[in-house]
Amino acid sequence: MTTDVTAQPTVKLVGTEVRRVEDDRLVRGQGQYADDVLRGALEMAVLRSPHAHARILDIDVSGVLDVAGVHAVYTYDDLTGAMAEPLPLLIPHAALTHGRTQYALAKDEVNHVGEAIAVVVADNRYLAEDAVARISVDYEFLTPVVGIPAARAAEHQVHADVPGNVAARLEQNVGDAEAAIATAPHRLALDLDIERSASMPMEGRGVVARWDTDARRLQVWTSTQTSTGVRAAVAAKLGLDLVQVDVITPDVGGGFGVKIMHPWPEELLVPMAARALGQPVRFTEDRREHFISSAHERAQQHHVEVGFDDEGRLLGLSVEFWHDNGAYTPYGLIVPIITSTQLLGPYKPQSYKVVFESLYTNTVIVTPYRGAGRPQGVFVMERTMDAIAAYLGLDRTVVRENNFIRPDEFPYDHGLTFQDGRALVYDSGDFPESLRKLKELVDWDGFERVRAEARAEGRKVGIGIGCYVEGTGVGPYEGAHIHVETSGKVKVAVGLTSQGQGHQTAFAQIAADELGVRFEDVEVVAGDTRRMPYGVGTFASRAAVMSGSAVALTARMVRAKALRIAAEALGASADDLEIVDGVIRVVGDPAKSIALGTVAVLSNPLRYAFDEASKAATQFSVGDPGKPPVAEDDEPGLEARDFYSPMRATFANGMHAVIVETDPDTAEIKILKYALVHDCGTIINPMIVTGQIHGGVAQGVGGALYERMAYDENGQLLNASFMDFLMPYATEVPESIEMDHLETPSPLNPLGIKGVGEAGLIPTSAAVASAIEDAEGFPITAMPISPSELFALRLAHASKGTTDEDRR
């Protein structure tokens, strides 16, 4: 359903499928991505390590500057001041005892294929690549550490000063899980693995910078999920005052986590070169570079021990896991902390112990990718639930139901510390109702009939389920600035950035509703530090919760001020006023009214008139001569800035079910049906929410069946291209995704919103594994899974004599 915003102006926009304001520009090819701004800028190319682990003995750049069109070449030796220090460790943690970060350009050693060693700036990228090819480097090879088993074995070290390759070890306990397991009526142990993958946005990283030699200001456009973060990093590293640096987020061609990492070496080197050369400089990452020099995620190996009663209730749960953090730890321990806390999902084990080690390997760094540790945690928990159900001979949904937190138990405190350093307390949800809806949607109880029919045709099918709870909208804060122009147009700025989530539309819906103005009169700008210098970033499904709430709070301030000024102008009480379509009027007496734009004029007492409207605000026209023109506690202008800073995260949740068919001959895996129920509290724009979930499910299917980073033992990434890193096309995703919603509004924010950005992919690997296991009759303990791997499992289980029939 489309809302015609012009015909029904008084209808609330929040909750309706308003079409996106972003799209007209984008479908005309008028988007402005990082590679599109400052046409003609010089271009940077990077010499990257071809080796996974080596000492750099010598770098010879002689001859590079002889190439026509080359302007500069930089190595570590050219870096000075803060630029010569290691890049920041963004999120320190007491348990991260051996945190290490790289240098903007490698100093003395390289620790993964793709690490930046030198950069060249030339007239264009072609010439810059030619020049890079002229740099020669002498290496002393060191033995690379690749994969979690090698990192744990620690026969070789990634960093000479990090014993055992262990960056961090963190343990949390609730009760005495080991004792509870030891005395439980039933016990199981499982080993569960997830492989490496990556965000892989269609647009790679990109940064362009211009140093204004006259104004002594730096302007940086970067394809980022945090413009405020990049701004602070650039200023600190280049020795500039914060007010000298503007960071502007252009259109961003997808992020999915990888662009929250900052500052990338190029985000510092491009501004550095632009200032040094006095000319605009650009770096546009190519696809191969994105594979080997941005960030990956997901690789973890887990060992689970669980004790449970006859109903499958968790009496004790103990999880130990090993997290592959790659060569450096710039983003701290966020991913494994999320796994360790969020694997609990909608369940309440009576006791819980979790311990992880974060391990160095000579591979690309690991930072959050959509889901950020949750897909692994949910996989671990849901596989455990299925194993318990199989062991007890119970329906898989019954075991889950028996472990659910009940609706009357919210807020539910797990007794753990979450990724934001705050207590892990769920705010709201109704898990039994979600499960009921899901079972109905997928016809869970009717599946044995489907299975029997398929079997009669010689086909193998299976059904699986995955449940999750996702902490969304973590702090510390987000803000909004709203300014009403004298034309009545409303200009909104938020501090975080957009990568396709439709923020310009969703936040305009909120502002229009709160202020009582027309949707088309609201314009939203995101990620421009000139307009909103305070903000954190777009990650952890937080934009709607954080900035949405900030926009609502700020709009309420603007509204209050507008009503106060209008009340005075109309000689009415503010309590009797309403704002409709940008006009403030007395309720029941619409003849007494004043336009919001006029109120904006009145809000700013003037000495000088510059147009007809502003005459009304000049000193001989308005004002009580007995009072100062601007009251002591007031300020000029119809504008406000406010911030939303919650005590803790709000927890969205959902459940997915999938039916798969596995080919008995070729082991090909096809998804026949995908159904899900999700609860993200109040929905701002159902069309956008549905789109987020569609995209998440497709990415989840990619993660379950297609995508993995294939490193060889030398640390070479064997599939660093779209030919061999198998992102799904339209032909690889489910033909339809059936969806049902549940809205349990969050009590933590003014609109009751919970985040939804990551919801679609969090339980996908768990649900698909569950379905394949159901179809095949043997445990699926590692994801992703390819037909080749499924075939190998069949052979292994056939030789062991485990068959479908044994399990039923």
Q: Which residues contact 170 (CB under 8 A, 6 or more apart)?
A: 93, 95, 333, 336, 337, 340, 355, 356, 358
* Helix and strand totals (H; E) in the chain: 20, 29
Indicate which single residue of 101, 124, 143, 487 sits in contact with another protein (rule: CB under 8 A). Answer: 124
Show the CA angle centred on residue 723, arms to residues 720 and 725, nearest 5°. Answer: 50
Indicate which single residue of 10, 788, 799, 805 sits in contact with another protein (rule: CB under 8 A). Answer: 788
- Determine if 1 is a binding residue for another protein (CB under 8 A): no
- Dig out the tokens for 413 from the structure: 């405190």
**Which residue, 111 or 765, has its beta carbon nearer to another protein?**
765
- Determine if 785 is a binding residue for another protein (CB under 8 A): no
- Dig out the tokens for 32 from the structure: 């402005």
**Which residue, 199 or 339, has its beta carbon nearer to another protein?**
199
In angstroms, give the least distance from the CB of 525 to another protein. 17
x-marked contacts with another protein along 10-39 as a string, rule CB under 8 A: ---------xx-xxx-xxxxxxxx-xx--x
In angstroms, give the least distance from the CB of 538 to another protein. 12
Site for another protein in 340-379 (CB under 8 A): none
In angstroms, give the least distance from the CB of 158 to another protein. 24
- Determine if 256 is a binding residue for another protein (CB under 8 A): yes
SS3 758: coil
**Which residue, 45 or 240, has its beta carbon nearer to another protein?**
45
- Dig out the tokens for 774 from the structure: 């159901």
Site for another protein in 607-666 (CB under 8 A): 665-666
- Determine if 795 is a binding residue for another protein (CB under 8 A): yes
Distance of CA 762 to the CA centre of its chain: 12
In angstroms, give the least distance from the CB of 718 to another protein. 5
- Determine if 755 is a binding residue for another protein (CB under 8 A): no
**Which residue, 166 or 727, has its beta carbon nearer to another protein?**
727
**Which residue, 255 or 488, has its beta carbon nearer to another protein?**
255
Q: What are the CB-based long-range contacts (under 8 Å, 24+) for 78-85?
A: 78/105, 79/103, 79/104, 79/105, 81/239, 82/236, 82/237, 82/238, 82/239, 83/237, 83/238, 83/268, 83/272
3-state helix, strand, coil in the chain (%, to 5): 30, 25, 40
- Determine if 200 is a binding residue for another protein (CB under 8 A): yes
**Which residue, 128 or 380, has its beta carbon nearer to another protein?**
128
Q: Check the CA dihedral 264-287-334-756 and report its sign.
A: positive
- Determine if 534 is a binding residue for another protein (CB under 8 A): no
Q: Please, are residues 581 and 521 in contact by the beta-carbon 8 Å criterion?
A: no
Indicate which single residue of 129, 193, 309, 395 sits in contact with another protein (rule: CB under 8 A). Answer: 129
Total residues contacting another protein by CB under 8 A comes to 88
| 316, 697, 732, 734 from 461: Cα distances, Å | 33, 20, 18, 15
**Which residue, 252 or 584, has its beta carbon nearer to another protein?**
252
Site for another protein in 672-731 (CB under 8 A): 687-688, 690-699, 706, 710, 718-719, 721-724, 726-731
How far apart, in whole angstroms, are the C-alpha atoms of residue 232 and residue 220?
12
- Determine if 212 is a binding residue for another protein (CB under 8 A): no
How far apart, in whole angstroms, are the C-alpha atoms of residue 704 and residue 161?
36
- Determine if 787 is a binding residue for another protein (CB under 8 A): yes
In angstroms, give the least distance from the CB of 709 to another protein. 10
Site for another protein in 481-520 (CB under 8 A): 499-502
| 57, 143, 255 from 136: Cα distances, Å | 11, 21, 34
Indicate which single residue of 130, 357, 679, 758 sits in contact with another protein (rule: CB under 8 A). Answer: 130
SS3 393: coil
User: Could you tell me whether strands 136-141 and 412-417 are parallel, antiparallel, or unpaired per DSSP bridges?
Assistant: unpaired
Q: Which residues contact 452 (CB under 8 A, 6 or more apart)?
A: none
**Which residue, 296 or 481, has its beta carbon nearer to another protein?**
296
Phi, psi dihedrals of residue 771, rounded to the nearest 5°: -70, -40
Which range binds another protein by CB under 8 A, 47-55, 162-170, 623-631, 788-796?
A: 788-796
Which range binds another protein by CB under 8 A, 237-245, 253-261, 401-409, 574-582?
A: 253-261
**Which residue, 69 or 175, has its beta carbon nearer to another protein?**
69
Site for another protein in 47-106 (CB under 8 A): 66-69
- Determine if 215 is a binding residue for another protein (CB under 8 A): no
In angstroms, give the least distance from the CB of 362 to another protein. 19
- Determine if 288 is a binding residue for another protein (CB under 8 A): yes
User: Could you tell me whether strands 412-417 and 352-360 are parallel, antiparallel, or unpaired per DSSP bridges?
Assistant: unpaired
How far apart, in whole angstroms, are the C-alpha atoms of residue 646 and residue 644?
6
**Which residue, 347 or 711, has its beta carbon nearer to another protein?**
711
Burial of 392 (0-12, 13-18, 19+ CB in 10 A): middle
